[in-house]
């Protein structure tokens, strides 16, 4: 079967318009923080959009053929990272590719989304055996990312699979038994955490524990968001974000930076754009009849939702700081490229389903 290539008219421009809104706000915020950051991110935007347009011309069958190899290659790349990766602040998460620092735990997300969507498409029942098989396949990915150490992305992978299986329809008792096992293993997991990760959990429970140390980022983020008031202080006028009170003001805490400068209005625009994106992804999920398209839509929806929920929660001080980017907004080429590749794959699999429906008719 031959599948027509995607034309610009077949792209969901409502979703892409919301993405464009987020990128515009991101670039405006980065420009106000540091013009060099703006220039770098603008280059990554062009690279990501170009990659998206190229990917949308792929034959959907390619994704089906390479779904299993994607998983094996991902394991290999995460392993090779410990040999060739660059250590930054005690973490080995990046490897230099053509002069750029690539973060594999981010870049591999769309490819692993294809692998797990294909795996779910092959399931014939909701047995506990299938439930365990999925988590056994997830475990090496979780462990390799956790050991970098990258607690944030390891939890994103785990949370996404858990959320997808819950929506997919696996019996709730499976999740209860898994949760019981997780709680029972908590002492061992606590032992594996680095000291700074333990402190983040403890200071979330008691923010006054270390206000000038571990709690500092979270406290400054909340101050930045609150000080923006309704209309914001204006671009380049943020005290927390521009006087270096707020660390990581261009990555994990960019929402606090933009909220301080653009106020409640700016924050609401960002939240509204994410709601539009999530709603469109939900529509794709509900309207898809093809198992692979349906599963892939659900995985993309889950990934973006968890990133959005955790990052905004971190910036508002209601979730522990775990180092999670805000999709399409946070500075970083790996995250931006990953999200655009994922959207490219999404439109490819949706086009596959449309073509099959037209052929049947």
How far is the C-alpha of 55 from the C-alpha of 290, rounded, in Å? 20
Predicted TM-score of the model (pTM)? 0.89
pLDDT of residue 358: 44
Q: If you average pLDDT over every residue of the chain, what do you get?
A: 86
Q: Residue 89: which pLDDT band, with cuts at 50, 70 and 90?
A: low
Mean pLDDT of 294-306: 96
Q: Which residue has better confidence, 9 or 98?
A: 98
Q: Which residue has better confidence, 186 or 348?
A: 348
How far is the C-alpha of 21 from the C-alpha of 24, rounded, in Å? 5
Mean pLDDT of 151-170: 90
Q: Residue 217: which pLDDT band, with cuts at 50, 70 and 90?
A: confident
Q: Which residues touch 41 (CB under 8 Å, ≥6 apart)?
A: 26, 27, 30, 331, 333, 336
Q: Residue 209: which pLDDT band, with cuts at 50, 70 and 90?
A: low
- pLDDT of residue 357 exceeding 70: no
Mean pLDDT of 32-55: 95
How far is the C-alpha of 248 from the C-alpha of 245, rounded, in Å? 10
Please give the C-alpha separations between residue 194 and each of 80, 147, 150, 185, in angstroms, as whole numbers.
22, 10, 10, 16
Q: Residue 243: which pLDDT band, with cuts at 50, 70 and 90?
A: low
Q: For residues 277 and 304, is the Cβ–Cβ distance under 8 A?
A: yes
pLDDT of residue 200: 65
């Amino acid at each position: 079967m031959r599948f027509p290539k995607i034309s610009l008219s077949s792209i969901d421009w409502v979703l892409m318009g919301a993405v464009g809104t987020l990128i515009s706000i991101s670039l405006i915020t980065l420009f106000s923080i540091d013009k060099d950051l703006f220039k770098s991110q603008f280059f990554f935007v062009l690279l990501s959009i170009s990659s998206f347009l190229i990917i949308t011309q792929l034959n959907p069958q390619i994704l089906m053929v390479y779904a299993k190899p994607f998983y094996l290659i991902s394991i290999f790349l995460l392993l090779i990272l410990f040999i060739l990766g660059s250590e930054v602040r005690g973490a080995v998460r990046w490897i230099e590719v053509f002069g750029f620092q690539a973060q594999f735990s981010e870049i591999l997300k769309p490819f692993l989304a294809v692998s797990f969507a294909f795996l779910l498409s092959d399931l014939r029942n909701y047995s506990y055996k299938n439930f365990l098989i999925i988590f056994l396949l997830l475990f090496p990915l979780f462990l390799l990312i956790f050991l970098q150490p990258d607690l944030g992305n390891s939890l994103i992978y785990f949370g996404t699979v858990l959320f997808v299986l819950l929506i997919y329809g696996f019996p709730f008792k499976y999740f209860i038994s898994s949760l019981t096992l997780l709680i029972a293993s908590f002492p061992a997991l606590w032992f594996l955490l680095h000291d700074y990760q333990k402190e983040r959990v403890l200071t979330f429970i008691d923010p006054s524990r270390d206000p000038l140390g571990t709690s500092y980022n979270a406290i400054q983020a909340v101050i930045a968001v609150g000080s923006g008031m309704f209309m914001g202080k204006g671009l380049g006028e943020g005290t927390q974000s521009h006087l270096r009170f707020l660390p990581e003001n261009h990555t994990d805490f960019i929402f606090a930076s933009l909220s301080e400068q653009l106020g409640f209005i700016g924050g609401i625009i960002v939240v509204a754009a994410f709601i539009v994106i999530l709603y469109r992804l939900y529509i794709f999920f509900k309207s898809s009849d093809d198992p692979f398209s349906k599963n892939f839509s659900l995985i993309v929806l889950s990934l973006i939702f968890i990133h959005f929920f955790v990052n905004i929660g971190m910036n508002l001080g209601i979730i522990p700081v775990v180092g999670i980017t805000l999709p399409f907004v946070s500075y970083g080429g790996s995250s931006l490229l990953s999200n655009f590749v994922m959207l490219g794959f999404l439109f490819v699999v949706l086009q596959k389903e449309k073509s099959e429906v037209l052929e049947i008719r």
